[in-house]
Each structure stands twice: as structure tokens, then as C-alpha cells.
Amino acid sequence: MQLSREALLRAYRQMKLIREFEERLHVEIMTGEIAGFTHLYSGQEAVAVGVCEHLTADDKIISTHRGHGHCLAKGVEVKGMMKEIWGSREGTCKGKGGSMHIASEEHGMLGANGIVGAGAPIAVGAAIAAKLNGKGGVSITFSGDGACNQGTTFEAMNFAVVTKAPCIFIFENNHYSEHTGYEYAVGTSGDIASRAEAFGMKVWRGDGTDFMSVYDTMRDVLEYVRAGHGPASVEFDTERFFGHFEGDPQRYRADGELDRIRAERDCLRKFRDSVTGAGLLSHTELDSLDAEILDLIQSAVDDARAAERPTAEDVLTDVYISY
């Protein structure tokens, strides 16, 4: 189904926003200003956006340690996120969580999560709640090729099947869990979807570097799950353009791999080529969106730098007792 111009522009804008957010962080982290561990989502944007463009505020998502893309795609505010990553008290989570723990209840974003595999069972609970609410909401858990090996993921899949919960298990296979290859760690010869299928779910597979592939697949998946057939699962094949975390020397990659995936598997480049090639959008309009986003990122960084720092008193808030 052909998307409207507005929908295409929006999709591009969302993907580009995530890309530039992450590319900028990659540069900023080198300066040492940002504390902690940061895991960047560059390369995987088409998955987050291709999924979240279908969702409403009634739908919930839960994310991973690599959560910036999922948050932005679900509508969490750019500036608040940047401030959070900078550790400001004006950040989305007051500087208490940081990059790995951004959450926003109002956006149906149940949180990025530092524990690999923790998201799937939580998503099942959210799906059961959606079913109880009866408004057709769904719950989506994003997991990696590493997280699919966690027992929690298996338990959650079976639980969702037996309760017919409107839960969607998205597996983003970026071929690596930290420094380990998926073909080593995923015993079904690297095939994740077949596992979900074995749990009794309907499964789909898609190219996670192609927005249209993700978007079209998700239309079918959501139609199926919203119709009350129970859970479903999708494996998207994708790429991570940076290291596992910032500072990873990435010696596990093949020579030239990063150049190759940037040249051949870049969702933004593919999107631009396809929409301009088909005459749906022009380079000029995309270029002006690019410029607008770069400005937004610049002002988010400027704001984050200038934002108020937390104080010792802030340590004792948001907890039931202070001793």
C-alpha cells in the first residue's frame, strides 16, 4: 500500500532524527562529557520507526539497553532525552537513569532496560492489561539476537501464547550480542523466528534495513494481533553501525564490514533512493528536513549542556523513604 507524502516525510524525519541523535552522541562521548555506558542504535532506525509509526498512545513498547531509537520513535521528547543522557535534572528521568533507562509513561514507553531479556515478560503483562482495557491496544517488546537466548524470553513467549495476549515480540537481529556472533549463540543456526514459531506463535520475517519492508510487515502483524489472535513475533535482519557500546574496539568485525554495511545496508540511504527514484519526494525536501533535524540536535545538545545539574538532595527523591 502506498503511503501518503506526509506519512513518508514523517517516517524519514523520524529515522533521520534517530540517526543524527546517535551520530552526534558518538562524537560527544569521545569528549568525555557524557558519563556511563551508551549503546547507539544507528543502523537499526527502520525497525523502530517502521514499528512505531503504526502505534497509538494506547499501545505500549518496552526496550533494551539500546533504547534511544525506540524512545524517539514512540515520541519521547528529543531535548528531554538529550538532557537525560547528559545527566541533567531536567532530563526525562531527572538524570537518575541515563542512556540505558529512559522511560515515558505518557508515551507508552515502559522503559529502556539494562537487564538483557527483562523486557519480554513485562511486555506480556502490559499486553494482558491492554486486553483487559478492551481498547485494542497491543504491547511490543524489542529484543536483540542475544536477548532471545534468555530464559525470560522463552517463558514470556509461552505465557503470551497460552493467555492469547496481544503481545508482539520483535527480534532485531543485528548479528552480534556484544562481541559474540548470532550464529554461535543462537542454536537454531541463527534463526530466531523459528523459535517463536515453535512456541506456537505466528511469525514474520523482514529486512530491518528497509523501512517499507518493516512498515508493510508490521501492518499485517498488527492487524493479526489487534484482531485478537494472540501474540506474534517478527525477526528483522538489521545492522548496528557502531560498537556494542561506545569505546568498543570492534575487532570481531570483518575487514571493511563497517564501510560495507554503511554503503549497502543503510536504511536512510535506501529510503531516500526509493522515494526520490519513484518521484514521491524530492531531494530538496529531504535535504531541508535534514537541515532542520541537524538544527534540532544542535539545540538539544546546547540545552543539555546548559541544563541544570542535579544536587545531592535529588538522590533522596522518588523513593518512599529517605535514609
Partner 1 sequence: MEKKMYRTAILETLAAEMERDPNVVLLGEDIVGGMGTPGGPEAIGGIWKTTEGLFGRFGADRVIDTPISESAIIGAAAGLALSGKRPVAELMFADFVGVCMDQIWNQIAKFRYMFGGKSRCPVVIRMAYGAGRNASAQHSQSVHQMLTGMPGLKVVMPTTPADAKGLLAQAIRDDDPVIFLEHKTLYATKGNVPDGEYLVPFGHARLTRAGTDVTLVSFGLMLGYCEQAADLLAAEGIGCDVIDLRTTSPLDEEAILDSVEVTGRLVVVDEAPPRCNIATDIISLVCAKAFVALKAPPVAVTPPHTPVPFARELEAAYLPSPEKIAAAARKTLSWK
Ligand X SMILES: Cc1ncc(C[n+]2csc(CCOP(=O)(O)OP(=O)(O)O)c2C)c(N)n1
Which residues lie closer than 8 Å to 147 by C-beta, 6 or more apart? Answer: 64, 116, 117, 119, 120, 153, 177
Task: Report in angstroms how near the CB of residue 201 gets to partner 1 at its nearest.
Answer: 21
Task: Report in angstroms how near the CB of residue 72 gets to ligand X at its nearest.
Answer: 16
User: Within its chain, how far is the Cα of 22 from the centroid?
Assistant: 12
Which phi and psi (to 5°) does residue 136 adopt? 85, 10
Residue holding cell 543524527?
A: 20
- CB-side exposure of 15: number of CA atoms within 13 Å? 30
Size of the site for Mg ion (CB under 5 A): 4
Contact residue for ligand X among 19, 68, 70, 244 (CB under 6 A): 244
> Would you say 181 or 200 has its CB closer to partner 1?
181
Bridge partners, residue 197, by sequence: none
Is residue 181 within 8 A of residue 149, CB to CB? The reply is no
Residue holding cell 574496539?
A: 249
Residue type, 31: T
168: nearest Cα among 112, 219, 96: 219
Residue 316 binds which entry of ligand X, partner 1, Mg ion, none, with Cβ cut-offs from 5 to 8 Å by kind?
partner 1
Query: What is the C-alpha end-to-end distance of the chain, expressed in Å?
Result: 58
Size of the site for ligand X (CB under 6 A): 17
**237 scored as a contact of Mg ion (CB under 5 A):** no
> Would you say 91 or 230 has its CB closer to partner 1?
91
> Would you say 177 or 233 has its CB closer to Mg ion?
177
Contact residue for Mg ion among 144, 206, 208, 231 (CB under 5 A): 144
Residue 221 binds which entry of partner 1, Mg ion, ligand X, none, with Cβ cut-offs from 5 to 8 Å by kind?
none
> Would you say 117 or 137 has its CB closer to ligand X?
117
Residue type, 17: L
Residues in contact with ligand X, shown as a per-residue x/- string from 112 to 151 under the rule CB under 6 A: --xxxx--------------------------xxxx----
Stretch that binds Mg ion, among 81-89, 139-147, 161-169, 281-289 (CB under 5 A): 139-147
Task: Report in angstroms how near the CB of residue 285 gets to ligand X at its nearest.
Answer: 32
Cell representation of residue 251: 575487532
Q: How many other β-carbons are positioned within 10 Å of the β-carbon of residue 239?
A: 23
Stretch that binds ligand X, among 49-57, 64-72, 214-222, 250-258 (CB under 6 A): 64-72
Task: Summarize as ranges the residues that interact with ligand X (CB under 6 A).
Answer: 64-66, 114-117, 144-147, 174, 176-178, 240, 244
